[in-house]
Amino acid sequence: MLCEISDLYNYNISRVLKEDIPSIYNFIIKNDIDLKCYLTSNSIEEKINEALYCRGELFLKIENQYEEVIGIIRGRIDFDFYNRLWLSLFKISDDIPEKMKKKIFNYFTERVSESYSIYKIEIGVSSEDNTLFFLKSCGFSISRILKNYFTFGNENHSLIILNR
């Protein structure tokens, strides 16, 4: 299975299934993720189908030992030109200590890199997203900025692309 990780401290990373839609949507609402304005339960199901049927697509959940969703990962592995992991969403609950978030993130990216010979990891975040500092602390640097890429309400925000 693509990116299944079960030996991650007390956490498990596995693909999102259709029966996970309510818990994934509740996680998005609870954690005030910017994507909630257009990531509905119907579009979550579309993302699940993409991950199931499209080569390299990822839609993963991070669960604690009680099988509660504490994080989600969305992205793809691009095998065409060079092996690249592109993450469009990586969010772990604000209740999880920063040090543990970093361990989970680094463990995940290391395992995927080893398993699929990934040479480059890229992630896109909104300019208003507070994960920018977190990603920099994980060794990422800004590679480019796309101005006014997102519109949330009446506000425009830039897309910041980081890589490692």
Q: pLDDT tens per residue, the chain (164 residues)?
A: 445 566 667 888 998 888 888 898 888 888 766 554 445 555 667 776 676 667 788 889 999 989 999 999 988 999 877 799 999 888 899 899 999 999 999 999 999 999 889 999 999 988 777 788 899 999 999 999 999 887 777 888 888 999 99
Pairing of strands 120-126, 84-92: parallel
CA dihedral 139, 141, 146, 149 (to 10 degrees): 20
How many folded domains does the chain comprise? 1
Domain span holding position 26: 5-163
CATH number, domain of 114, equals 3.40.630.30
